[in-house]
Amino acid sequence: MKRKYFILKVDKAPTSIGGERNVSGGFEYEYERMRDMKRVIVACGSGVATSQTVASKVNRLLKENKIDARVDVVDLKSIDRHIDSSVAYIAITKVTKEYPIPVINGIAFLTGVNQDAELKKLIEACK
């Protein structure tokens, strides 16, 4: 069986007149943009299907409202590690612990019940 190999060619970013690198559209620019974005975390019991569904919907709703935020799915057991780097936590399960950031009801994004109120809280947290 003959193997096929592909070569990925990455061009260097163009330089400006002064010789500085113009990284607009490059990897460095994207990294800085992602680093500076507000971060929202979503977690459910297993961190698989339900939280992925909610994260996808929340991501779409934030884009529709022109909110530049990153929505990440995390494991429920690792919430405490991610809280400090996030502006809001969307919980699919009942939360009994106090957190220093707003806790948003994720069930609202699954069912649509009270979704507008929860989205409003999320948008305020991302501003």
Each as own residue / partner, the long-range contacts of residues 6-15 (CB below 8 Å, 24 or more positions apart, any chain) are none
Is-catalytic flag, 44? yes
Fold assignment, 38-126: Rossmann fold (3.40.50)
Q: Specify the pLDDT at position 48.
A: 73
The pTM of the full predicted model, rounded to 2 decimals, is 0.73
Cα–Cα distance, 14 to 77 (Å, whole number): 44
Asked whether the predicted pLDDT for residue 62 surpasses 90, the reply is yes
**Each residue's pLDDT tens digit, 75-106:** 888 899 999 999 999 999 999 999 999 999 99
Residue ranges per domain, the chain?
38-126
Q: Specify the pLDDT at position 73.
A: 93
Of the candidates 44, 90, 92, 119, the residue annotated as catalytic is 44
Asked whether the predicted pLDDT for residue 46 surpasses 80, the reply is no
